Amino acid sequence: MAMKQSLDMRQGQSLVMTPQLQQAIKLLQLSNQELSEFIEAELERNPLLVKIEEEGGASTSTDSADPKNREQLTLDDSSGLGEARDQLDAPGEDVFEPGTGSDAGPSEDARGPSATTDWSTASGGAATEDFDYAANVSGDVTLHEHLHTQLNFAGLTAADRLIAARLIDETDETGYLRAPLEDVAKALGADIANVEAVLTVCQGFDPTGVMARSIPECLALQLKDRGRLDPAMQAMLDNLHLVARHDMKALMDVCGVDKADIQDMLLELRQLSPKPGAGFSSDTTVAVVPDVYVRELPNGMFAVELNSDNLPRVLMDKAYYAEVTALPMREKEKEFISECAASASWLVKSLDQRARTILKVASEIVRQQDGFYAHGVAHLRPLNLKQVADAIEMHESTVSRVTTNKYMATPRGLFEFKYFFSASIPATGGGEAHSAEAVRHRIKQLIDDEAPEDVLSDDQIVEILTGFGIEIARRTVAKYRESLNIPSSVQRRRMGKAG
């Protein structure tokens, strides 16, 4: 068959990632700190951008500071954002108010757009061995970053991760946990015994002795790790005031050992670190600033509000633009000014779009997880990115970007958006599905409450959960039990007899 070359013209559609669209997508996934750094770089590069100062501050142009002359924060097709809006799957003119769907337009409130939900709270119902901690620690890593990294490998449920994250945040730079466990349990709506169990896991993190609540407990954790925490050493830790006074005779009496043993024990104490977090960076520590605030209203609903104090506010300086374009310029200078104007206009609108998108996603998360806010960690509902994306008519990838490095301050504490996503377990009789993390939590509670002489088998746990309306297979119970590092019923029975 003869081969020949030919030219054909075909019409088709394809997605082109313009530099502006790439920038809009990039802005979505930036954290507050990264966004501030990006804005500062743009302000240095673009002479037409003006940063709006806070209370009492002034922009470089009185004309640009006038609200009548500000760049309109609407996304229309003529600005070139119509295509980007479709691809980002986010309505450009809406300030999201769950349940209303009204077009409120840009907020003129200094605190930024906000959304008040219209639902009632009454409807809410250990690290792996091959992970090298030392290789992941550098002089620039803070203690909190180091602990959160280990938390990702601890195998905890979503509910327990929320507790652990709160405990880590309450740990100071020296490595000590400063918040009373009772306060943490009350804030999260968790059982004090569950908080204590999570703390035990966290106290196994590196560095040894971290998250202790006192110097004796810190030293005890280190001695236990070395296999040196015997009754005599514990007695010395309980009487550190005698160590401070160098009262050898009193130490020998309380510890029940002779002088030579006391000297050896004191030598061991000197080899321990009373400040386990001292080796980590503190200069680069940056406090996590929430992107949104969640407040409970007197009527039992929740208000979701953007933290506009942390949002960079920039405008295009129209007065300066008019002044410059009125001057005689060469072609290259005209092109530069034109590019700066287009870039400034796009950035202003992209920042507004980013703020609205974050607000929509946060509001839907709060609506879906109202049980957690009302009743605590045991009431986390099953939730995935697709559910949120479908509810607010956005693409799943957009929601994924928004939930990266974004935090919400709630009456129960500060949480990252992604902590509220978990798998679901079907309910018997076609009822509402259960969060996989809530089911794990319930399995752990059942095993924690079992009597030594009446150890529950996986089949018995299935029967109990079925009675609660949870449809679950025995192998799933076994998988969840193993993920919690809980031995089988046979092993637990043997352990009980040995004890």
Q: Is 245 exposed, middle or buried (0-12, 13-18, 19+ CB in 10 A)?
A: exposed
Q: Is 267 exposed, middle or buried (0-12, 13-18, 19+ CB in 10 A)?
A: exposed
277 CA to centre of own chain: 22
Query: Omega before 19 cis (within 30°)?
Result: no
3-state SS, residue 72: coil
Read off the tokens for 380: 């986390």
Give 160-215 pLDDT, tens digit per residue: 888 998 899 899 988 999 999 999 998 888 899 999 999 999 999 989 999 999 99
pLDDT (tens, 9 = 90+) of the chain, 499 residues, equals 566 777 777 776 655 556 667 777 778 888 878 888 888 888 888 888 888 765 444 343 333 334 333 333 222 333 333 333 333 333 333 332 333 333 333 333 333 344 443 332 222 323 333 434 334 444 467 888 889 888 877 777 778 888 998 899 899 988 999 999 999 998 888 899 999 999 999 999 989 999 999 999 999 999 998 888 899 999 999 999 999 888 999 999 999 999 899 998 999 998 898 999 888 766 444 567 888 999 888 888 889 998 877 777 888 888 888 888 888 888 888 888 888 888 888 888 888 888 899 999 999 999 988 888 888 887 878 788 888 989 988 888 888 888 888 888 888 888 888 878 865 555 655 555 566 667 877 888 899 888 888 899 999 999 888 887 788 888 888 888 887 888 888 888 887 766 5
The full length of the chain comes to: 499
3-state SS, residue 489: helix
Give me the half-sphere count of Cα atoms (radius 13 Å) on the Cβ side of residue 254. 16
Alpha carbons 375 and 190: distance in angstroms, whole number:
9
**DSSP sequence for 47-62:** TTEEEPPSTT---S-H
Give the per-residue pLDDT at 139.
Answer: 44
Alpha carbons 486 and 101: distance in angstroms, whole number:
47
Q: Which amino acid appears at position 4 of this protein?
A: K
3-state SS, residue 456: coil
H helix runs in 329-380, sequence order: 331-368, 370-375
Read off the tokens for 193: 């015994």
- Greatest alpha-carbon pair distance for the chain in Å reads 107
Q: Which amino acid appears at position 479 of this protein?
A: K
Give the per-residue pLDDT at 296.
Answer: 87
Alpha carbons 65 and 268: distance in angstroms, whole number:
66
Give 21-41 pLDDT, tens digit per residue: 777 777 888 887 888 888 888
Region of 112 on the Ramachandran plot (φ > 0 left; ψ -120 to 50 alpha; else beta): left
